Amino acid sequence: MTKTRLLAALIMAPIAIAAILFLSTPWIVALAAVVFLAGLWEWFELAEIEDTLARTVLLVAHLALMVAIVWASRSASGYSFVLFQLASVIGVVWWLLALLWLRHYDFASNHETWARFFKLAAGALAVIPAWCALAWLHGTEPNGHIWLFTALAVVWAADSAAYFAGRHFGGTVFKGRKLAPRVSPNKTIEGLLGGVIAGVLVGIGGSLLAGASAAQVPLVALVALVAALASVVGDLYESLLKRHAGVKDSGHLIPGHGGVLDRIDGVLAALPVFAMGKAMFGF
């Protein structure tokens, strides 16, 4: 599984990096919409929307909202990011609420209509703000493309380092204590720490490429730290959805990685946090 996982990552990573660094913001926004909506399609299945027509209608509704945000953001001087910023704030608030959901694991765990409603609302609050944060990061000058790459690299580094740190050191430092045993029994505190450290280091390195000054590095490190932790929340929340639905992966599109949602769950939570932190601290 590790070999398959690495091979898939080696194929996907260069494509994603090249797109982020060399495509213009409108193209990145469109490409990201395709990826995020693919993840949202899998989210609908985890929310137990079994009818294909119903899922299609829901997907079109979310696409229409994305188009409406872009259309309403037009201005005489180009595009305004106000709506994208507002959506990013909503995303940060949602992921704070998701922490409460993780604490109350059994909430909406049954198969009633009201439970599906909450999970569908959660999907919209996760996907749309993350897509808006991505557009905001990439479209902000100077070096927006590098800042977006940095934000994503924080998540990728945290996820990969957590995986390998958990495999090699899990249970050795904290005597087998798990991070969230009811939600994701395999995640360890050692893995969390390894992932967060890697995310912070990569965030600092990326920020220097993006032009951050030495005085801004501690602020970047703080934002990268919180973004890496947020990515863990996103990962855990998707694990909760999968456990409620009784499945191992959100899909089978990516060999060794599962579905699209399995690859972007941490990104959904980290992007709004990183974008807001960058705006707050002005780097």
What pLDDT, on a 0 to 100 scale, did the predictor assign at position 175? 72
Give, to the nearest 10 degrees, the angle between helix 25-46 and helix 144-169. Answer: 40
For residue 3, count other CB atoms closer than 10 A to its CB. 8
For residue 121, count other CB atoms closer than 10 A to its CB. 12
Q: CA 199 to CA 155: how far, in whole Å?
A: 6
Q: CA 82 to CA 65: how far, in whole Å?
A: 15
Q: CA 59 to CA 38: how far, in whole Å?
A: 9
Here the tokens at position 59 are 């997907």
Q: CA 5 to CA 90: how far, in whole Å?
A: 33
Among the listed ranges 2-11, 44-53, 69-78, 140-149, which one has the minimum average pLDDT value? Answer: 2-11
Q: How far is CA 70 from the centre of its chain?
A: 21
Q: How do strand 178-180 and strand 184-188 relate by DSSP bridges?
A: antiparallel
Q: CA 16 to CA 219: how far, in whole Å?
A: 26
pLDDT tens for each residue of 106-138: 888 887 778 889 999 999 999 999 999 999 999
Q: Which pTM was predicted? A: 0.92
Residue of 231, 213, 202, 229 whose CA lies nearest to 281: 213
Contact between 250 and 259 under an 8 Å Cβ cutoff? The reply is yes
**Domain residue limits, the chain:** 2-281
